Amino acid sequence: MSEVLEVARRARTAAAGLAPLPRKDKDAALHAMADALLEHVDRVLAANAEDVTAGRASGTSEALLDRLSLTRERVEAMADGLRHVATLPDPVGEVVRGSSLPNGLELRQVRVPLGVVGIVYEARPNVTVDAAGLCLKSGNAVLLRGSASAYRSNTALVDVLATAATAAGMPADSIQLVPGTDRSSVKELMQARGLVDVLIPRGGAGLISTVVSESQVPVIETGVGNCTVYVDAGADLDKAVAIVVDAKTTRPSVCNAAETLLVHADAAAAFLPVAVEALRAKGVTLHTDARAAAYDSSAVPATDEDWAAEYLSLDLAVGVVDSLDDAVAHIRRWGSGHTEAIVTRDVDAARRFVKSLDSAAVMVNASTRFTDGAEFGFGAEIGISTQKLHARGPMGLPELTSTTYVVTGDGHVRG
């Protein structure tokens, strides 16, 4: 048996031991994992520094280096995330629905763990901690396959987390790093049907497409974030500028950052000069259509590639539209179904915008950056699903469960 299949086999054994554990035991393990992160922060940062140095030497973009980089504050935030997950309700055992049937049988639909969850992700070491914590709390064993660029960071993190969890009484092999740094180990994981219950890819379009198209294991598809902010004719322009700047610049390398700005023609003359100045001050390069270019002489002409782009950088595609319907049509053509936002004082316009779109999240007078498991009160998130089956939007603890029907009778027979 290959190394990948061996860790999957061990994870399956661990999952059987995790499923019946009470909440108090899992919460104690989460606190122990958080303590261990803080105790070993220097070791984690040293490993991460090696990854960042290697990435910079190989020409990795600044956006990806930002995703890869850890600081003491980021490690502390990851530990805080584990503690927060411990405060959340345990979904395992929750009764989704129940009834007494006419024949006297008692029927309950109960949440149960998925089993073994595989996560395939790119240069985001924080995903290692988030996924480990959420999977453990929801009673799942987790197989973590990060990118080669974060291998040292992930090795250190998984060793710290797994050691702490096992010492706190969790089954051995509940948290494992998938061995290997080349594509063959990902391929083996995708073929481990029967050992792995579900795969969740997190990363760029290429990674997600590969896992969705090639995996023999069921996949929960997380999507790229080509997110749009639409400034309506009825917008409060000061609020619109603040929302656009926040959505684009607070952390441009993440999937909930805005990549496109659409402005109603009736608001363009008042809004765009102020917005362009504010975005330029933050170092944003604008890629504009002909009408928006009138407000920024140094803008780059927008192409079809720009409208479709998830830049993950300080770049923003900007267009002027004649109506809300035109904005919706643009988003439906070019958007990725992740998050869209409307800025408006017109309640009817907001309602039409929400009802007309088919995205996992729609914001009204708020930044796209709020599409996040922690911001939604879910604790950390396992990913943001843009598909429509099983889970959609930020995936918290309930999305890491399935259900079992429990039927209780008193000697009932059907014949």
pLDDT tens for each residue of 230-268: 999 989 999 999 999 999 999 998 899 999 999 999 999
Count CB neighbours of 40 within 10 A: 20
Q: What is the pLDDT of residue 406?
A: 97
Q: What is the pLDDT of residue 184?
A: 92
Residue at 65: amino acid letter: L
Name the stretches of the chain with pLDDT < 70: 1
- CATH no. of 3-222+395-408: 3.40.605.10
CB 318 within 8 A of CB 303: no
Q: What is the pLDDT of residue 1?
A: 64
3-state secondary structure of 20: coil
Q: How far apart are CA 82 and CA 157, in angstroms?
A: 13
Q: How far apart are CA 88 and CA 332, in angstroms?
A: 35
Tokens of 109: 């639909």
Please, where in the chain does CATH 3.40.309.10 lie? Answer: 227-370
126 to each of 71, 80, 168, 231, how far by Cα in Å?
11, 12, 22, 33
**pTM for this predicted structure:** 0.85
What is the DSSP code (8-state) at residue 368? G
CB 401 within 8 A of CB 382: no
Q: What are phi and psi of 251, to 5 degrees?
A: -160, 85
Q: How far apart are CA 406 and CA 397, in angstroms?
A: 21
Please, where in the chain does CATH 3.40.605.10 lie? Answer: 3-222+395-408
Class of domain 227-370: alpha beta
Tokens of 289: 């259509």
Q: What is the pLDDT of residue 6?
A: 97
